[in-house]
Amino acid sequence: MATNQIYSLDSSLPVCETRIRYVLKSVSFIRTPHYDMDHTDAGYYNIMNSFAVNPNSEFTAIHHFNSKHSSNGVRKLGGFGPGPWVTTWNDWNNIYPSDPNYNSRNLAHELFHAKGLSHAWIIDDGCLDTKKNNNGWCDGSNNVMDYNCYHQFNLTPCQICRLQSWLDLRTQYIRQEGGCPPPISYFDIPQRVCRGINSPFYPEIYLQGSACTNENQFRIHISKVPHVGSQSSMPNTIFQSWYSGQVGHIGLKQWTGYQFGSGVYRIELTVKHTDCANEDSMVKWVTVELCPEEGIPANCCLSAAFIYPNPSGEDAVIHYTLEEEANLLIDMIGINLPTPITLQSTRWSAIGNYELPLNLSPFPDGAYQVRIFLNQQEIIPINLVKQQ
Ligand SMILES: [Zn+2]
């Protein structure tokens, strides 16, 4: 983007890249009686001169608990962001009422100051698309550069372009490796994906990637492994491919065409930029397993199950005792009955003793198996012989 772009309401101007990545390198907790953030005694600068880390190449953000800033005994909240360091202060954990995200919003506001943004209400903030308001607390706009108590973090297109301009001009604050900002692989994926016992469908597995302009290529490598934590070996690979662009929201089944049956899958996402040598990878594991319907306990609950008489003639009785409520399916198969027939199917059966009559007259003599499926998971087989 041209650094001298005119920031205006002209909708024909290109929109700048909206994603800016912060890489958190370290966190320190410092307890000291010797410093205070009170700007009247240059406390900001004392602290930053003492604690800022690599101030020529990195940002330091200090959050000051129990600040001396107070009015009428109530500690005040606020921040200061001259860059390349920023401070925020607040009471120990006195989050601004009704806004649990206050501290993070405060930090974002100061970081944007440090990267060249002025308050949105200022006439000469360099952006025509920021609302000029009266700067009253909670009476401005939902722009993050206003003083406001709203939850939004909004920036205007102009503000985003100004941030990118600032970054273009000040690459000393960006950690470079071989002239390239570092690519970082990051994605979310469920740890466990259910596949219904009786479902003919394989589940979709959604991967949500996170990307910025440091990357323009990504590779997905999927392998089936023995257990969570197992690393991959090539014979296990079921899918691997590079793609152009930035990783986003991906349905792995649709993406790969692979049917994810039960098992553990190792998912590796590698990202890089075509102009740079470095790449970065992240690995997570997904377990696909047979699961009962939502809300049904996995293990159950049959204390007795038998058929009498056995061997049977024309008529028999299936006896079973449920110790807990259960989802129940009873069917029967056999050499003369290759396609099972359903004898009983209930979504919920109450606790109790059951006597299920079984009319065997339609079936030829022979060996059969009655199967009781509990909660679509546990199978109790009972062998049955019919002989006249
Ligand atoms: Zn401010």
Q: What is the mean predicted confidence (pLDDT) over 158-184?
A: 80
> What is the 3-state composition of the chain as percent helix, strand, coil, each rounded to the nearest 5?
15, 35, 50
For residue 76, what pLDDT band results from cuts at 50, 70 and 90? Answer: low
Residue 66's pLDDT is 60
Give domain 302-386's CATH number out of 3.30.360.10, 3.10.450.50, 2.60.40.10, 2.40.50.100: 2.60.40.10
Q: Which residue has the tokens 């692979």?
A: 258
Q: How remote is the CA of residue 19 from the centroid of ligand 1, in Å?
A: 21
Residue 81's pLDDT is 79
Q: How remote is the CA of residue 149 from the centroid of ligand 1, in Å?
A: 13
Comparison of pLDDT for 360 and 56, the residue scoring more = 360
Write down the mean pLDDT value for the chain: 81
Q: How remote is the CA of residue 379 from the centroid of ligand 1, in Å?
A: 65
Q: How remote is the CA of residue 175 from the centroid of ligand 1, in Å?
A: 26
* Span(s) in the chain for CATH 2.60.40.10: 186-291, 302-386
d(CA 109, CA 220): 36
Comparison of pLDDT for 266 and 136, the residue scoring more = 266
Residue 234's pLDDT is 73
Q: How remote is the CA of residue 219 from the centroid of ligand 1, in Å?
A: 41
Q: What are the residues whose beta carbons fall under 8 Å from the beta carbon of 356, sequence distance 6 or more?
A: 317, 318, 319, 320, 330, 343, 344
Q: What are phi and psi for residue 102, nearest 5 degrees? A: -55, -45
Q: How remote is the CA of residue 113 from the centroid of ligand 1, in Å?
A: 7
Q: How remote is the CA of residue 6 from the centroid of ligand 1, in Å?
A: 23
Residue 2's pLDDT is 34
d(CA 280, CA 186): 9
Q: How remote is the CA of residue 84 from the centroid of ligand 1, in Å?
A: 15
Homologous superfamily of domain range 186-291: Immunoglobulins (2.60.40.10)
Q: How remote is the CA of residue 118 from the centroid of ligand 1, in Å?
A: 7
